[in-house]
Amino acid sequence: MVHQLRLLRKAQRKMLTDHHCHILPKIDDGSDSVETSLKMIRTMREQGVERIVATPHFYAHRERGVNAYLEKRQQAYDKLVKEDPTNGDILLGAEVAVEHGISKLPDIEKLRIADTKYILLEFEYAAFSKWMLEEVNDIAYEYGLVPVLAHIHRYLEYYSRSEMEEVLKTEAVFQFNNEAFESFKEKRFVKSLIKEGYPYVFGSDAHSMGSRKPNWDVLKKKAKPEFISGVEDIFG
Cα gap 236→225, rounded to integer Å: 20
235: in domain:
no
Share the mean pLDDT of the chain: 94
Helices (H), the chain: 2-10, 34-46, 66-83, 130-143, 161-168, 184-195, 216-222, 225-229
Residue 201 has pLDDT above 70, yes or no: yes
Question: How far apart, in whole angstroms, are the C-alpha atoms of residue 15 and residue 114?
Answer: 16
pLDDT digits (tens, 9 = 90+) for 125-183: 999 999 999 999 999 999 999 999 999 999 999 999 999 999 999 999 999 999 999 99
Q: Where residue 19 sits, what CATH number does that domain have? A: 3.20.20.140
Number of domains in the chain: 1
Q: Is residue 236 part of a domain?
A: no
Domain that residue 159 falls in: 2-229
pLDDT in tens, 140-153: 999 999 999 999 99
Q: What is the pLDDT of residues 76-106, one digit of tens each?
A: 999 999 987 766 689 999 999 999 999 999 9
Residue 94 identity: A
Cα Rg for the chain, rounded, in angstroms? 17
